[in-house]
Amino acid sequence: MLSALLCLQLSSFAQYPAPSLIPQPVEMKIGRTEDNFTIANNSTQVFISDSSLRPSAEFFISFIKKHYLLDLTLTTTADPNRKNVINLIKEYPAQQRTNIENPEQYSLEVRAKSVSIRSSAPAGAFYGIQTLIQLLPPSAKPFPLQVKAVNITDFPRFAYRGMHLDVSRHFFDISFIKKYINYLAMHKLNYFHWHLTDDHGWRIEIKKHPRLTAVGAWRDGSIIGLYPGKGNDGIRHGGYYTQAEVKEVIKYAADRYITIIPEIEMPGHSMAVLAAYPELSTTPKQPKKVAETWGIFNKFNNVLLPSDQTFNFLEEVLTEVMALFPSPYIHIGGDECSKIWWKQSAFSQQLIKEKGLKDENGLQSYFIHRIEKFVNSKGKTIIGWDEILDGGLAPNAIVMSWRGEKGGIAAAKQKHKVIMTPENFMYFNHSQFLKDDSLTAARYLPLADVYNYEPVPAVLTPAEAKYIWGGQGNLWTEYITNPAKVEYMLFPRLDALSEVLWSPKPKRNFVNFKERLKEQFRRYDMMGVNYSKRYLKP
């Protein structure tokens, strides 16, 4: 009887498909099924060789508890005789002694008696854990719980692997923000770009300027349907994060090796600021409202006046933001600042003359330079949308190329770091299908286009190409009103993005990726992720 059972078990092991990893690792050798490792309730231990590896071990232990209902114990005591152990070892992975030590690099070895993840730094160990999770069966009832025997060597292609979320057009509470960050971490992304302010709502508590949230965090309604819309729903919408909540989210992200880059928009996309403080606009006497319609060119809009009062205000805001976020990078927006307001403003025209600027683009450049100087004085670097190139790039700025790749190419040629996020390939608010399941922005971005996107433009020389720091997916939420829809828009395009940014270019293969997605969808089912189910249809 026992031997019959054993036989059955062995044959079921033999039927395991090859591991379906996303993103595809640099190198993987598949071992023999008899070398599979078994995770057993209350007996498998997770050993960490260094306390800095604790967040990775805890991530794994809680994942196993939540999805497989097994209890694993954490140990910091080394014991070479242990028989059932997952080792997290802080040491430079032996089999990949390249010249450059990469803190995100790891090796993963699965054998019958132990699993070993080696990395010179905690981030690499964390990515090893994410891969280990994908070696488990994507189902909650897989007893015994087996890890496929493999040898993996892995490191990312790009140092910047980002995903953005707009919480201004629609507000998402911190419990969902944490979930979102968790999703990014499981895809080995390392930056979360938090779009905290825009015309439609200010979302972060600033103690010195309480009206930003008392007034700026709320709008009285939103347009109905696709812009320009069919009327206004008249439903008050808003919300904001307290500084205590922001700190909690930063810690949560840091435990997942994600840096949060806060975005404070200027000088455009500022209606929420101007509703609270109209004196910072070009028409200080006219009261203003938090915007209720999408788009920037309507007659109710305005932008920040480039006055000393405005700069003092922005410096006070940025001082609080920079004290809160450990990120060395602060995103200052800079996009879509309509110049009509400065054209009509006597103060702005006088400033253009006084400073010898060429025109309103020169004024935009003056604005960003001045803010950059302040941010740099606090030891941080600015990131801006590619409009910050207009009128001349600030000396140390990093450029996010969104209006195609032109801005990114120009910035790389000027030896500035670039994050590629062109809207034709990286805007996940666009429809996934020609006719999507619900209202989306009126453009089409199928999965294949995301997957096949190449962040390094062919026109760059190898020396210039080094300035392409990485890429990012963006999720603007005009038409995304709830967490389930965020997930719908995100998955599986996030999977495609992770492979673009992590995997070696020659390893990318869309047909093979779609095969691997099948197992990923089963994992999402287990985790309760609301991916676009239409991909399941033949």
Kindly list the catalytic residues: 198, 269, 336
Q: Which is nearer to ligand ACM, 294 or 524 (CB)?
A: 294
The least distance separating ligand ACM from the CB of residue 205, rounded to whole angstroms, comes to 24
Using CB under 6 A as the binding rule, whether residue 335 contacts ligand ACM is answered as yes
The least distance separating ligand ACM from the CB of residue 377, rounded to whole angstroms, comes to 26
- Binding residue count for ligand ACM, defined by CB under 6 A: 4
Q: Which is nearer to ligand ACM, 233 or 335 (CB)?
A: 335
Q: Which is nearer to ligand ACM, 329 or 385 (CB)?
A: 385
Q: Which is nearer to ligand ACM, 146 or 302 (CB)?
A: 302
Using CB under 6 A as the binding rule, whether residue 425 contacts ligand ACM is answered as no
135-140: long-range contacts (C-beta < 8 A, 24 or more apart)? 135/19, 135/21, 135/110, 136/39, 136/68, 137/16, 138/519, 138/520, 138/522, 138/523, 138/525, 138/526, 139/522, 139/526, 140/67, 140/68, 140/69, 140/526
Whole-number Å distance between alpha carbons of 323 and 275? 25
CA angle 111, 114, 119 (to 5 degrees): 95
Whole-number Å distance between alpha carbons of 211 and 452? 45
Q: Which is nearer to ligand ACM, 58 or 335 (CB)?
A: 335
The least distance separating ligand ACM from the CB of residue 402, rounded to whole angstroms, comes to 4
Q: Are 393 and 411 a contacting pair, CB within 8 Å?
A: yes
Which one-letter DSSP state was computed for residue 285?
A: T
Q: Are 408 and 420 a contacting pair, CB within 8 Å?
A: yes
Which one-letter DSSP state was computed for residue 387?
A: G
Whole-number Å distance between alpha carbons of 470 and 502? 10
Cα torsion for 484, 488, 492, 493, to the nearest 10°? -120
Q: Which is nearer to ligand ACM, 255 or 336 (CB)?
A: 336
Q: Which is nearer to ligand ACM, 25 or 268 (CB)?
A: 268
Q: Which is nearer to ligand ACM, 335 or 454 (CB)?
A: 335
- In angstroms and rounded to an integer, the radius of gyration of the C-alpha atoms of the chain is 25
Q: Which is nearer to ligand ACM, 258 or 400 (CB)?
A: 400
Which one-letter DSSP state was computed for residue 405?
A: S
Query: Residue 108 carries which side chain, given as an amino acid letter?
Result: L
The least distance separating ligand ACM from the CB of residue 429, rounded to whole angstroms, comes to 9
The least distance separating ligand ACM from the CB of residue 268, rounded to whole angstroms, comes to 9
How far is the CA of 435 from the CAs of 27, 204, 446, 535, in angstroms?
38, 36, 11, 14
Instruction: Work out the angle between the directed axes of helices 483-490 and 174-186 (0-180°, nearest 10).
Output: 20
Q: What is the DSSP string of 84-110?
A: SEEEEEES--GGG--SS--TT-EEEEE
Which one-letter DSSP state was computed for residue 467?
A: T
The least distance separating ligand ACM from the CB of residue 489, rounded to whole angstroms, comes to 15
Site string for ligand ACM, 355-394 (x = CB under 6 A): ------------------------------x---------
The least distance separating ligand ACM from the CB of residue 333, rounded to whole angstroms, comes to 8
Phi-psi group of 457: left, alpha or beta (phi > 0 → left; psi -120 to 50 → alpha; rest → beta): beta
Q: Which is nearer to ligand ACM, 248 or 335 (CB)?
A: 335
Using CB under 6 A as the binding rule, whether residue 336 contacts ligand ACM is answered as yes
Using CB under 6 A as the binding rule, whether residue 329 contacts ligand ACM is answered as no
The least distance separating ligand ACM from the CB of residue 149, rounded to whole angstroms, comes to 46
Using CB under 6 A as the binding rule, whether residue 402 contacts ligand ACM is answered as yes
The least distance separating ligand ACM from the CB of residue 46, rounded to whole angstroms, comes to 42
The least distance separating ligand ACM from the CB of residue 266, rounded to whole angstroms, comes to 13
Please confirm whether the linkage preceding 23 is cis (ω < 30° from 0). yes
Maximum separation of any 2 CA atoms in the chain, in Å? 93
Residue nearest to ligand ACM according to CB distances in the complex = 335
- β-strand pairing of 106-110 with 114-119: antiparallel
On the 0-12 / 13-18 / 19+ scale of CB atoms within 10 A, 141 is: exposed
Q: Are 53 and 116 a contacting pair, CB within 8 Å?
A: no
- Segments of 439-523 assigned E as strands: 441-444, 468-473
Whole-number Å distance between alpha carbons of 383 and 501? 19
Site string for ligand ACM, 456-495 (x = CB under 6 A): ----------------------------------------
| Chain residues in the site for ligand ACM (CB under 6 A) | 335-336, 385, 402
